[in-house]
Amino acid sequence: MIDPGAKSLKGKTAVVTGAGKNIGRHIAEHLAAIGANVVVNGRGDQAAVEETAAALKKDYGVEALPFLADVTDRAAVDRMAAAAMDAFGRIDVVVSNAALRNQQPFLEMSYEEWRNVLGVALDGAFNVCQAFGRHMVAGGNGGSIVTLSGISNRVGTLNRIHVNAAKAGLEGFTRGLSLELAPHRINVNSVAPGMIDTSRGASAGARPSLGDRGVPLDRMGTPDEIAGLVRFLCSPEGAYTTGQTIHVNGGVYMS
């Protein structure tokens, strides 16, 4: 269990997309650890989101709402936002984490593959941040939005042109949104992980080696090292940080 001390999000509500496993689940845990009730979103694995929600309730004493919704489906996202408001009455934190990590050489990539990756990362962020952001603004309590970028668009990654483009666009989206929501006391940032020790689906391909990436710290990062930074950005201590892309990659890319 995580014990960061003060329950600075007690009574508040966070939504985390792609929260059934890996980094998303760890982010949900870190936000629950500081008191947030959590909407645990996933696209198709009902068992994973329900297990995550049950663990948050058991380990941290918060309320958790498991909700399946494809973030590219605006109607489904709107239903999720309505369910969250019915359950908790407020939205304070949005973490847009859902993404696809497919691999395909550019000259063999279909337009459908291109659109699928961009759709989840960019259309998904648009849908989730707008649907939940409207409730945040209406509530008048400020809050935090965090998008999950990556290292691909900074260093270039073979067979991931679609991922490179999606993450670059997501960082631009984040900067623009930070300006629009600043008058409402909502800070908006992006966290960009490097090589993180997570489980990988078959579509993600083989994991690059530390030697291939040239990681100065000579190890992979952990999901908790990403989730801990997200937790900071969503806590009162992170409220003056906005419009930033913060890199967590062991020194592979230095901003």
Indicate if the pLDDT at residue 209 is higher than 80.
no
Query: Do 16 and 41 touch, CB atoms closer than 8 A?
Result: yes
Give percent of the chain with pLDDT exceeding 70.
92
Quick one: pLDDT at residue 204?
A: 46
C-alpha span between 84 and 92 (Å, rounded): 11
Query: Do 216 and 120 touch, CB atoms closer than 8 A?
Result: no
Tell me if 194 is assigned to some domain: yes
Tell me if 223 is assigned to some domain: yes
CATH number at residue 186: 3.40.50.720
Indicate if the pLDDT at residue 89 is higher than 90.
yes
Closest CA to 196 of 240, 160, 250, 140: 250
**More confident of the two residues 55 and 6:** 55
Instruction: Specify the number of domains making up the chain.
Output: 1
C-alpha span between 74 and 123 (Å, rounded): 9
Indicate if the pLDDT at residue 207 is higher than 60.
no
Tell me if 6 is assigned to some domain: no
Tell me if 1 is assigned to some domain: no
Tell me if 174 is assigned to some domain: yes
Summarised one tens digit per residue, pLDDT across range 70-87 is: 999 999 999 999 999 999
**More confident of the two residues 101 and 73:** 73
C-alpha span between 97 and 237 (Å, rounded): 21
Tell me if 112 is assigned to some domain: yes
Tell me if 5 is assigned to some domain: no
Quick one: pLDDT at residue 182?
A: 98
Instruction: Give me the domain span that covers residue 54.
Output: 13-248
Q: What is the mean pLDDT of the chain?
A: 93
Tell me if 254 is assigned to some domain: no
